[in-house]
Structure 1
Amino acid sequence: MTSAARLSDAIDDALPQTQCTRCGFPDCRSYANAIAQDGAPINQCPPGGAEGIARLARLTSRPVIPLNPANGHEGPRQLAVIDEAWCIGCTLCIKACPVDCIVGGAKQMHTVIDDQCTGCELCIPVCPVDCISLVNVTGDRTGWDAWSEPAASASRQRHSFRRTRIQRDRLEQDERLAAKARAALADLPAASVLTDPEALDGKRAVIEAALARARSRKATR
């Protein structure tokens, strides 16, 4: 393992793993990589707050600097709460949650698993009926004082599992589409008598492109 990779791991361990994206990156690991490999500033994590910046400063041998207000402000940990009377079961909040802490089915009431919610706020903007609110659950405690190492570790594991699940679902969907495309491609010669040649070529090109995408994603995985 390279020194940059080891530093990325250490920085990732020092981040609160809320996966809130307020740092400007899609998740905590991406921010850790950007700090270690690309020299990204260490003051872009509001959930970590001042203590988080101090941790990153020690790891990177950089000076401690104030939290960048463009990324947000340090504050207490928030808990998402769904108003059951207004929830329409659209599932958009479930898809937005980076740690899979919202449960429910389509057209059914959703609810938040309190002890797994990181307060990332990503479910708020996607709710079409504004039935999700945030409540302060740590009082005056902010940053790492409002969080814990075990909670961060559990959040990282749930985020990793969610990412793996999404990749698996995409691969399975690609394989289903590829199977349909192969079946459709096999049927094209028989249909060519009744089909315009140019339209047939267009259909064949679309199907072959779908097969190529499926093969590429499978190879990448």
Structure 2
Amino acid sequence: MLKLAELLAVEPQPLDGDEAAAHPQRKVAFIDEANCIGCTKCIQACPVDAIVGATRAMHTVLPDLCTGCDLCVSPCPTDCIEMIPVATTTANWKWDLSTIPVKNLPSQLAASQMIPVKMIDVEQHV
């Protein structure tokens, strides 16, 4: 958005929901198993296969796989699926760690590259 404002030479305006976008709350689907009729419509709608169950049997959501996309809620004919917030902990935090570039070192260094820092007497230190 800032680049677009810069290209148009105008002052950037805040978007609705900027505050919420800065701190999104993760949600996962929860199925009220007492009301689930096992129609499998939620399973068909889930893009990441986070819902398991069989036809005419209760279904359940695997919270580790659920992305919170909300696509399973609307197809449910009994409205037994709701999105519940999940507390962020170190166990479920999506760590954004960039990799550290590592250079490939030659397997054998030339003798001129190996310089001892200090000669030690092994018998003295044992």
Please state if 1:78 is matched with 2:27: yes
1: CA distance, partners of 2:14 / 2:60 = 33
13, 38, 57: which one pairs with 1:89? 38
Q: What corresponds to 2:80 in structure 1? A: 131
- Contact 1:94–1:102 (CA under 8 A) maintained in structure 2: yes
- Contact 1:77–1:147 (CA under 8 A) maintained in structure 2: no
Q: Cα distance, 1:138 vs. partner? A: 3.0
The alpha-carbon distance between structure 1 residues 114 and 132, as it changes in their structure 2 partners (threshold 3 A), is same
Q: What corresponds to 2:115 in structure 1? A: none
- The aligned amino acid for 1:81 is F
For residues 23-66 of structure 1, the C-alpha deviation after alignment (integer angstroms, 9 at most, x for no partner) is: xxxxxxxxxxxxxxxxxx7xxxxxxxxxxxxxxx8xxxx36977
Instruction: List gaps (5 residues or longer) in structure 1.
Output: 1-40, 42-56, 140-145, 151-221
State the identity as a percent.
46
2: CA distance, partners of 1:99 / 1:85 = 24
Q: Cα distance, 1:147 vs. partner? A: 3.8
- TM-score, scaled relative to structure 1: 0.33
1: CA distance, partners of 2:13 / 2:53 = 40
Q: What corresponds to 1:164 in structure 2? A: none
2: CA distance, partners of 1:79 / 1:119 = 5
For residues 141-178 of structure 1, the C-alpha deviation after alignment (integer angstroms, 9 at most, x for no partner) is: xxxxx64459xxxxxxxxxxxxxxxxxxxxxxxxxxxx
The alpha-carbon distance between structure 1 residues 85 and 67, as it changes in their structure 2 partners (threshold 3 A), is farther
1: CA distance, partners of 2:14 / 2:49 = 28
2: CA distance, partners of 1:108 / 1:96 = 17
More helix by share: 1
Instruction: List gaps (5 residues or longer) in structure 2.
Output: 6-11, 98-126
More strand by share: 2
Q: Specify the SS of the correspondent of 1:134.
A: strand
Q: CA RMSD in A?
A: 3.0
The alpha-carbon distance between structure 1 residues 128 and 67, as it changes in their structure 2 partners (threshold 3 A), is farther
The alpha-carbon distance between structure 1 residues 66 and 137, as it changes in their structure 2 partners (threshold 3 A), is farther
- The aligned amino acid for 2:53 is G
Which one scores higher on RCO, CA 8 angstroms, separation ≥ 6?
A: 2
The structure with the largest alpha-carbon Rg is 2
53, 60, 63: which one pairs with 1:114? 63
2: CA distance, partners of 1:97 / 1:81 = 13
- TM-score, scaled relative to structure 2: 0.55
1: CA distance, partners of 2:4 / 2:81 = 39
User: For residues 1-221 of structure 1, what are the structure 2 equivalents within 5 Å?
Assistant: 62=3, 69=16, 74=21, 75-138=24-87, 147-148=94-95
The alpha-carbon distance between structure 1 residues 138 and 105, as it changes in their structure 2 partners (threshold 3 A), is same
